[in-house]
Structure 1
């Protein structure tokens, strides 16, 4: 029975990973389509599409999937018409939340987001109510447990990035958002293992939230992240005094 239990756990973990990967692919596919729709199917003349393709490659999306959805977005193949919308609001503890959406039914989506915000002690705000608390940055994560930090710093500066932060054996590299795809490509050519490459809203300052009082806030963020129409979420909190 122990073997059966172990196998069940492995299957459950794999199912969760596959589901998460599926959600990541869905979000990237939407971004590919909207980027191509707004700026055309040529990544050389469409920086947003170039970044979306970089994100897709970092997520190991098959090339044929990338090409097909770029063609759909550009109108070369039939596809869904997605609308981009940003929402701003506050969660528990006054935490600022930015929500980026791509949807084919904005009335449904905003109603569902408002329901989640209210359910977990938050509320939607007016445009501009929290966006000033964030800045848009390119964010590239690489896995590297062999390079010297001086060598890595030299390589990322040469590639056009601004700075990096070490997180265990990974490095979070910050760039100008318009250069993120190019920096990612240059680091990839140097042999670095690109885990992810994207443009994110990064908080200028953070609010500290005690672990013991954070459950509603965490539930809100997790439920928003699980929503199919939500592409990205940014917030400005940090959990402190963790008990785990």
Structure 2
């Protein structure tokens, strides 16, 4: 909960949000095209496409962009892309899972390996890190949708596992929009998201994510973890980066001292 909010704020303060948003739209379009190619262009008949479209809408992706991506997939584009997962270790033994969609596996692997090696980490073998994470569903709604109790009640009724609610901030420099985060089992994500949409409308985001089973509390490595995360996110084929670093108040303070 707190770590999620703090990590988002770090990205804002470092001036990366516009770049990340542009890359997010590119990733969402790629996800939609691949889903449309694999299962057809009708979201009602294609659960993967329905999830991809719902997530794109939650991120305010324009409807025209969404439709273009669907049409590209239905027209045969997206054939050359494959989804790849990389695992590695950052400073202090922090585990990283990196998801990519690429039409050139060798290029993607080289970029990811270089990002690790230049920032105090090392690319590992498949399975070297994943055992420290669980793949789970994650749904986000803005705070104004309902209060914490209301979201908890609705989420549990829908079959979710847990709800975490960020604290609203009155800091005028805090650009991050606090959210309710709903956690689900991997296979329950679609059904829980559908039930919550009936009650609250479209979510801000709906994703399968890798969640660390035990986060590592090692504040002195905070800056190095941020640098490695930034470098990995800057790789053209990388779509999402996950790690099991605990962004505690102490860790955050070390970053603020470096600014």
TM-score calculated relative to the size of structure 2: 0.79
Superposition pairs for residues 51-90 of structure 1, below 5 Å? 51-74=51-74, 76=75, 78=77, 81-90=80-89
Q: Could you tell me how far apart the structure 2 residues matched to 1:95 and 1:163 are?
A: 25
Q: Which residue of 2 aligns with 1:112?
A: 111
The structure with more radius of gyration: 1
- Alignment check: 8 A CA contact 1:142 1:192 kept: no
Unpaired segments ≥5 residues, structure 2: 1-12, 169-178
- Alignment check: 8 A CA contact 2:94 2:245 kept: yes
- Alignment check: 8 A CA contact 1:143 1:193 kept: no
Q: Which residue of 1 aligns with 2:238?
A: 230
TM-superposition CA deviations, 1:33-57 (whole Å, max 9, x none): 2222333333334322221111111
TM-superposition CA deviations, 1:123-172 (whole Å, max 9, x none): 11111111111111111111124734332222112233221011114211
Unpaired segments ≥5 residues, structure 1: 1-12
Where 2:246 maps in the other structure, the secondary structure is: strand
Where 1:208 maps in the other structure, the secondary structure is: coil
Q: Could you tell me how far apart the structure 1 residues matched to 2:247 and 2:143 are?
A: 26
Where 2:83 maps in the other structure, the secondary structure is: strand
Post-superposition offset of 1:122 = 0.8
Whether 2:173 is the aligned partner of 1:174: answer no
- RMSD (Å), alpha carbons: 2.3
- Alignment check: 8 A CA contact 2:57 2:202 kept: no
Moved more, 32-41 or 53-62: 32-41
- Alignment check: 8 A CA contact 2:134 2:212 kept: yes
Q: Which has the higher strand share?
A: 1
Moved more, 217-226 or 32-41: 32-41
- Alignment check: 8 A CA contact 2:33 2:77 kept: no
Q: Could you tell me how far apart the structure 2 residues matched to 1:231 and 1:19 are?
A: 13
Q: Could you tell me how far apart the structure 1 residues matched to 2:31 and 2:104 are?
A: 16
Q: Could you tell me how far apart the structure 2 residues matched to 1:230 and 1:156 are?
A: 31
CA gap of 1:237–1:78, structure 2 versus 1, over 3 A, is closer
- Alignment check: 8 A CA contact 1:140 1:194 kept: yes
